[in-house]
Structure 1
Amino acid sequence: MRDDRGMGKGPVNGDSTDVIRSMAEDAGDLAVQIAQAHGHADAISAELAQQRSVFDGLHTEASRMNEASAAVESATRTAKLATEAAHERLDTARAGFLRVMDQVRTLTREADGMGDSVDALAHAIEGVRRSVEDIAEVAQLTNMLALNAQVEAARAGQSGRGFMVVAEEVKAMSERTAAATSTINKTLQNLRGSADGIAKTNAALLARTLSIRDETSVFSESMDAIDSAMTEVNAQQEQIEAARRDSARAIGVVDQSIRRMDESVGTAERGIAGLRSGFGKIVETSESLTSDFAMLGVETVDTPYVRAVQNAARAVSEAFEQAVATGAVTLEDLFDTRYRPVPGSDPPQMTTRALPLTDQLLPRIQEPLLQLSPQVVFCAAVDRNGYLPTHNRKYSQRQRAGDPVWNAVHCRNRRIFGDRVGLAAGKSTRPFTLQAYRRDMGQGQFVMMKDVSAPIYVRGKHWGGLRLAYRVEEASL
């Protein structure tokens, strides 16, 4: 019959003691082996979960590659359409350009022919000018003859009156001829000036058309180069599209392989989850069996640890009650579960209103238990939610910024341990709870441990439990 306040009514006497002790030790070994197997199952489950995460990431990347491939296909199609449209525009421009070149060549020929016409006009004007000069000389000579005739007619008197009329008409004609030649000379001068201007303009036009012809020849070569480049670009686009199609097919094959592996890992994960659940139940049963043997008062390897943690838990309860009685802390503050994150902590640390008191009282109770045995790893109190306010000093170092791996090993105070063992230790109201588990020491190191805990009460209210963890020899599976 159990005594809820301790190890049991008393030790079992007689020959049955050795048998019970042997059974208790066997039950303890079994609990360790099962916990070890459960720990390996947990590790496998974590590895499978990590692989699922990796596969999810690979699938996401494959999806992104597919999206990128589709984007390349769209861009290639758009570029191809743009290239074809550019080709069409280039062909249209080339046709128009060829027409312009024909017109330029025609204009050049016409400008060159106009130069010849202007030269002929200049020669004709010069011939007319010389003829006009000859006429002017004749008119001047005629005018002199007319003057002489008038003189002779005057001498002849009445007889020369008729000749006088003729002489006057000849003189008038010579004067009109002189005036006409003067007017013609002025017109010829103006015409010659206009002809010279036309000649200069035509020369400039001819030079410009020749320059345009040369420039258009160069431009034609550029258009040919552009056409060749666009043809090459189109060929490159075809190669890109072919490579994209090959890549898309390869991505599809990889994605299907990833999906199949993901499904396989999912199946394995579900299987290991069932295995873990079964192990969990067996672990609970074996731990309960081990505790039952201990409750009978049979001395086992765990007995010293059980007694030590029960005594220490009572000391914690008394210290807490004394603090409440003296007003050092209120009962509400002691049971505060509003966990406040410590900014920048990684892994995250939390504070409560009871933290100043636990930092003051718990070390003098917890630290001595580290000397109980070389196998002891830690002794720390946790509340009913697995929150560990004040750890042993060696596990309560200041966190290093940006080094969560180191922090996880050396900064275990002010953290919530919501694992199976931590929660069971905090929530259990049995006289003691004995558990076996595979503890992650960080940096890939694991050790098999037992965790014995005893409840902490303050004024009849369950606060949590005091945990005492110690190493055990790892069984060979």
Structure 2
Amino acid sequence: MLAVFKKTAPVPANDSRVDEMPGAPAIDARALVQSLQKEASGLGREAAEVRGVIDDTIRISSRQTEAVGSLAQQLQGIQRSQAAIGSFSEQSLRSVGQARQAVEEVGREVGAIVDTLREVANAAQQITQIAIQTRLVAFNASVEAKRAGEAGRGFGVVADAVKDLAAKVEASSKEIMSTVGTLDSRIDALSREIRTDESAGRQGAFHKALTAVETDVHHITEAACESRGVSDAMSGHMSLIDRESRQATEALQNAMVRSEAFLKVSEHLMEVIAACGIETEDSAFIKAAQQGAAELSQLLDGALREGKISMADLFDENYRAIEGTNPQQHMTRFAELTDRLFPPVQERLLGMSSKTFYCAAVDRNGYLPTHNRKYSHAQRRGDPVWNAANCRNRRIFNDRTALASARNHKPFLLQTYRRDMGGGKFVLMKEIAAPITVGGRHWGGLRFAIAF
């Protein structure tokens, strides 16, 4: 717990010892404050580190939750496909049954065709017999006509013609019988392929093929049912994982809120110590940030008085995205003016110490128009990681630390945080922010970061 003390008379600059009460041992106030400052700084560093780790874990947990949700959706799609496979399998079995019935019908028709062909063969055989008899009668008639001499000549011609015709009929009938015999053997073989002789335990080739199809379809159905059971079990596990992931994310967010409060306490403690009037390791940087913010305020006031920019343009919030930038950069109506006015002040403060990390002004929404030169390179196409670390001008930073600095109205604000350098690299630092005002209006703040 922090003790709150009422403000007393300032400690003389040449006296670092204060008597708490008559007769009490003297206390080295400066040493005490400096010790407290170091302890508060270390506390802030640890709090910022814990907060950063929690923040990283929340992002990882959120990505895992999204991945689980996506996997659950894909699993639902698999289950729908498995149900469709089962439906199609049942339909295939019905189709095979219909095909089997159709094959049986064809078999019966083929049997009827065989019977018909045999009737045709019998008829052709009878025609052959008749032709043979007719030829024999015609032969006898021809012999009798020759015996009759001149009187039987005409009848002999007719008898010879009948004999020739009978011979042709006989040949045709025999050819029909031969063709019918060939067809009969072929159709009979086809009938055997189609028909099933249950008494002999024999299946035709068509039925064997259909049986094989039925067996395969049954295997598909069984595999689909088994797979559906596995998918249902997986779905249950996925639901459990999803619930636990969401609970973990919620717990982490609660931890983030608590760590935020912890961090604010440490930052407030550092501010109180810095404002007590005794020099600490942060005092020089706080003064520099305040002086730099005052200089930038004067420069913007001067530009406003000289008509170099209007109040409306200076407070422009129409952040126009710069096409093709990644991370996204923006342009405003005051960015060109800050490019001319801000660098001398910002670069001078940046070179103040080897501990300084950056010094840049942002408007009240976290928009950073003009950064330090080393962070203001032209973006590389297709290299967002490098751009994130080296092209930080024209960017909008609306995270907790950035917005707190941008909207701070106190003489100074001291924060601790992890800065994302891109590519998974982070740097722990302290940031001092001082407000920038123009024409009595709060324009933004100067962000002055120093390394621990």
TM range (shorter): 0.7 to 0.9
C-alpha distance after superposition, 1:322-372 (max 9, x if no partner)? 222333322211211111222232222222122222223222222233222
| 2:311 is the counterpart of 1:340 | no
> 1:369, 1:379 within 8 Å by CA — same for their partners in 2?
yes
CA change 1:133–1:259 in 2 (3 A) is same
Deviation, 1:204, is 4.5
Question: What SS does structure 1 have at the residue aligned with 2:342?
Answer: helix
1:446 is aligned, of 408, 426, 436, to: 426
* Paired residues of 2:141 and 2:156 also in contact (CA < 8 A): no
**CA distance in 2 between partners of 1:63 and 1:9 (Å):** 72
CA distance 1:189–1:368, shift in 2 (3 Å): farther
The residue aligned with 1:51 is: 64
Q: Please show how residues 18-417 of structure 1 align to structure 2 within 5 Å.
A: 18-134=31-147, 136-137=148-149, 178=151, 181=152, 184-185=155-156, 187-189=158-160, 191-192=162-163, 194-216=165-187, 219-220=190-191, 223=194, 224-417=204-397
Separation in 2, partners of 1:104, 1:322: 117
1:131 positional shift? 2.0
Aligned residues: 423
Per the normalisation by structure 2, the TM-score is: 0.86
Q: Which moved more, 1:193-202 or 1:420-429?
A: 193-202
Identify if the C-alpha distance between structure 1 residues 203 and 381 changes in structure 2 by more than 3 Å, giving closer, same or farther.
farther
Q: Specify whether residues 116 and 300 from structure 1 end up closer, same or farther in structure 2 by C-alpha distance, changes over 3 A only.
A: farther
The amino acid of 1:392's aligned partner reads N
Contact 2:329–2:395 at 8 Å: present in 1 too? yes
Q: Deviations 1:385-436 (Å, cap 9, x if unpaired)? A: 1112222222222333333233222222222111100110111111111100
Rounded to whole Å, the distance in 2 between the matches of 1:355 and 1:9 is: 43
Distance change (3 Å), C-alpha of 1:77 and 1:412? farther
Deviation at 1:467, TM superposition (A): 0.8
Of Structure 1 and Structure 2, the greater helix share is in 1
Q: How high is the TM-score relative to the length of structure 1?
A: 0.82
SS at match of 1:379: strand
Tell me which stretches of 4 or more aligned residues in structure 1 moved more than 6 Å: 8-12
Please state how far the C-alpha of 1:207 moved relative to its aligned partner: 4.3
Greater radius of gyration (CA) = 1
**Greater Cα offset, 108-117 or 9-18:** 9-18
Q: Which moved more, 1:199-208 or 1:460-469?
A: 199-208
Are residue 460 (structure 1) and residue 448 (structure 2) matched?
no
Q: Deviation of residue 286 (structure 1)?
A: 2.1
Q: Distance in 1 between matches of 2:89 and 2:269?
A: 72
Measured in 2, the distance between the counterparts of 1:442 and 1:471 equals 17
With over 3 angstroms needed to count, the CA separation of the structure-2 counterparts of 1:109 and 1:27, relative to structure 1, is same
C-alpha deviation, 1:120, in angstroms: 2.8
The one of 12, 15, 30 aligned to 1:17: 30
Structure 1 residue 10, shift from structure 2 partner: 8.7
Higher relative CO (Cα under 8 Å, sequence separation at least 6) belongs to: 1
**What are the superposed Cα offsets for residues 279-326 of structure 1, whole Å, 9 maximum, x if unpaired?**
112222321221122122222222222122222212222222222233
Q: Which runs of 5+ in 2 are unaligned?
A: 1-8, 18-28, 195-203
Check whether the contact 1:428–1:465 (CA below 8 A) recurs between aligned residues: yes
Distance in 2 separating the partners of 1:28 and 1:259: 44
SS at match of 1:390: coil
What is the rounded CA distance, in whole Å, between the counterparts of 1:63 and 1:419 in structure 2? 37
Shift of 1:452: 1.0
202-211 or 363-372, which deviates more: 202-211
**Per-residue deviation at 1:230?**
2.1
Contact kept? 1:10, 1:296, Cα under 8 Å: no
The 2-side partners of 1:9 and 1:382 are apart by: 34
* Partners of 1:388 and 1:248 in 2: CA distance: 55
Deviation at 1:222, TM superposition (A): 6.4
Query: Structure 1 regions of 5+ residues with no counterpart?
Result: 1-7, 141-177, 473-477
Secondary structure in structure 1 of the residue aligned to 2:443: strand
1:146 matched residue in structure 2: none
Aligned partners of 1:324 and 1:330 also within 8 Å: yes
For residues 302 and 291 of structure 1, what CA distance do their matches in structure 2 show?
10
Deviation of 1:235 after TM superposition, in Å, equals: 0.8
Distance 1:11 1:24, change over 3 A: farther
Check 1:362–1:195 CA distance in 2 against 1; reply closer, same or farther (3 A cut): farther
Change in 2 beyond 3 A, CA 1:186/1:447: same
CA contact (8 A) 2:132 2:167 kept: no
